[in-house]
Structure 1
């Protein structure tokens, strides 16, 4: 498995994540459309914070099932946390926050989150 490092813009929220990036997901729900995030889903145990957990603030809305994590200093959303349909803790990593990643090489799948 490859280990990637990432952070918000100012570095106040930093992380490492393990896995193989095979694609990204672009969602058009109300929050993802505004954030323009490109998401990669991994088991939560594959995400290790390099800064204290309380460095990131949490935003929830609608069903309050997804914990959208963001930096209160620069406003960037590097990741989110939730549980998948099988009850496993997951992390949604914003690929735009991973250092040195060439996004043009990542296939993007589009998800109609507005329809939910």
Structure 2
């Protein structure tokens, strides 16, 4: 199924194809603070439709993930695996997806603090 989403102000917009069967709640220091419910998808399944200068990036720890955010409204719509080689993933914040009620999905708790 094709899903579309954006940050709060709409300056960062995206779409992706996936079959959503659940959501991931990560307890790492950034995901727990922003309260994201995530969906992991192959990086090639994510298309960023609008961003310009509004798409910011934040990395911490081993810098394996680029946490993307809107510089205008501050919302974190997705993150990207930036490691070299291997299959890369994108992690969409399901709270930013239009016409989707994340509360209807089962939630898997991922221990990102230990990863």
Unaligned runs of 5+ in 2: none
Unaligned runs of 5+ in 1: none
Report the TM-score when normalising by structure 1: 0.92
Q: How does 1:1-116 map to 2 (within 5 A)?
A: 2-52=1-51, 54-82=53-81, 87-116=86-115
- SS for the counterpart of 2:63 is coil
Counterparts of 2:2 and 2:93, CA distance in 1? 15
Check the 8 A contact 2:11/2:51 in 1, yes or no: no
CA distance 1:83–1:72, change in 2 (3 Å)? closer
Structure 1 residue 17: Cα displacement: 0.7
Aligned length: 114
Report the TM-score when normalising by structure 2: 0.92
CA RMSD of aligned residues (A): 1.5
- C-alpha offsets along residues 40-99 of structure 1, whole Å, 9 cap, x if unaligned? 011111111111364311000000010000000000000000058x81121000000000
Counterparts of 2:40 and 2:97, CA distance in 1? 13
Check the 8 A contact 2:54/2:72 in 1, yes or no: no
Counterparts of 1:82 and 1:53, CA distance in 2? 20
